[in-house]
Each structure stands twice: as structure tokens, then as C-alpha cells.
Amino acid sequence: MTIKKEGILQKLQSSVEQEENKWKVKVDESQKTIKQMQLSFTSSEQELERLRRENKDIENLRREREHLEMELEKAEMERSTYVTEVRELKDLLTELQKKLDDSYSEAVRQNEELNLLKKQLNETLAKLRTEQSERQKVAGDLHKAQQSLDLIQSKIVKAAGDTTVIENSDVSPEMESSEKETMSVSLNQTVTQLQQLLQAVNQQLTKEKEHYQVLGCLTDVLSGDAFRIDYR
């Protein structure tokens, strides 16, 4: 009986030891599992903290992105406004350049016309200077005409006196007729010369009047606003 009990006890003890070993193994495994879970929990907490930080960074990035989008939209509007203003400015510059070119062309044309008028005026002044000597000649011709008139007047007076003398003398009619014919020819020649002189004087005076009119017109034009060049 004793041996049997001992055998049973040994079996029980062996069984207990086995179970104890199993429990030890399970406890060890449980502890390992707990440690692993603790490590995993710690890692999860770290990951969660990291995610929180990343989420905060993402939020900051989101806000920064929204700010940049607003700035980009504002810059785009300003760029559009700038492009419009630049286009309008280019159109304005093109129009101003065209007006400037037209004004320059007009100024060149007016300057050429002014130079031509100045040339014509200088030519007219040169002609007037040349005609100054002709006017002096005209004055001499007038003096000669006056002398001729005086001569005719004196001859007429003398002829009248001679006629009175002849009437009271014994001169023959033939001599009287010859002297009258000679006097008539002389008077006709003198009158013809006088008419030629007067005609020349009239022509010269007409020419001078025309030149003075031309000179007056040129002076009025050059002194007026007709050819005043405006470079504005």
C-alpha cells in the first residue's frame, strides 16, 4: 500500500511539477507578451505623439498653403491689372509716337517752306538792291523829262515871240514856213522823247510797286503765325 501511495504521490508530484513548469512557461510567455505589449504601447504612444506633431505640422502647412494660395490669387490679379496697364501704356506710347512722327514731318515740311520763302525773300531783296540803281536812273530820266518840258515851254514862248517879230518884219513867207517846219519837227522829236521817257518811268514805277507788294506779303507771312513751327 505504501509503495502504491508513494507511486501515486510521485505521479502527483511529477504531474504537479509538469504543470508548474507549464505554468512557469506560460507565465514567462505572458511576461514576454506583457513586455512586448508594453513596448508596443510605448511605441504606439510615440507614434501617436509623432502623428500629433505631424498633424500639427500638417495644419500649419495647410494654413501656409491657404495663405500662399491667397497671395498667389492676389498676385495673379495684380499681374492681370499690370498687363492691362502695360497694354494701355503701349497703345498710348504708340499713339504718341505717331503724333510725334506726324509733328516732326509737319515741322520738316514747314521748315522747308520757310527756307524757300527766306530764299525768295533774299532774292527779292537782292533784286530791290539792284533796282536801287534803276530808281536813281529813273530819277535822272524824270529830271531829263522836266528839262525837256522846260525846253518845249521855252521854245513855245520863243516861237510866239518870233512870230510877232516876223509879222512886223520884211521876212519872206518861204523863210517863215521853213522855220515853222523846222520848229515843228524839233518839237515833235522832243515830244516823242518825252513820251518815251514818261512810259519808261511808268513801267519802272509799276515794277517797283509790284516788288514792294511782294516784299510786303512775304514780310507779313514770315512775321505771322502761318509758318511758326510747333514741336509740342
4-33: pLDDT as tens digits:
667 777 777 777 788 888 888 888 888 888
User: Minimum mean pLDDT among 8-17, 105-114, 118-127, 167-176: which range?
Assistant: 167-176
Q: How confident is the model at residue 166, as a pLDDT? A: 47
Number of neighbours of residue 5 by Cβ within 10 angstroms: 9
Is pLDDT at 54 greater than 70 in this prediction? yes
The model's confidence at residue 231, banded by pLDDT at 50, 70 and 90, is very low
Is pLDDT at 56 greater than 60 in this prediction? yes
Bigger pLDDT: 2 vs 39: 39
Taking CA atoms, 65 is separated from 59, 62, 164, in Å, by 10, 5, 141
Question: Region 125-153: what's the mean pLDDT?
Answer: 71
- Give the residue extent of every domain in the chain: 2-223
**Separation between Cα atoms, residue 82 and residue 149, nearest integer Å:** 94
The model's confidence at residue 212, banded by pLDDT at 50, 70 and 90, is low
Bigger pLDDT: 231 vs 90: 90
Question: Region 207-221: what's the mean pLDDT?
Answer: 58
**Separation between Cα atoms, residue 103 and residue 229, nearest integer Å:** 9
Is pLDDT at 64 greater than 80 in this prediction? yes
pLDDT tens for residues 157-186?
676 565 554 455 454 555 555 655 666 666
**Separation between Cα atoms, residue 190 and residue 152, nearest integer Å:** 7
Is pLDDT at 220 greater than 70 in this prediction? no
Bigger pLDDT: 95 vs 210: 95
Q: How confident is the model at residue 229, as a pLDDT? A: 41
Q: How confident is the model at residue 86, as a pLDDT? A: 86
User: Minimum mean pLDDT among 36-45, 76-85, 107-116, 214-223: which range?
Assistant: 214-223
H or E segment at 39? helix 2-167
- Each as own residue / partner, the long-range contacts of residues 32-38 (CB below 8 Å, 24 or more positions apart, any chain) are none
Bigger pLDDT: 69 vs 122: 69
Closest CA to 211 of 120, 112, 116, 113: 120
Closest CA to 151 of 180, 181, 193, 110: 193
Bigger pLDDT: 125 vs 156: 125
Residue 168 phi, psi dihedral angles, 5° rounding: -100, 5
Q: How confident is the model at residue 70, as a pLDDT? A: 92
Number of neighbours of residue 197 by Cβ within 10 angstroms: 19
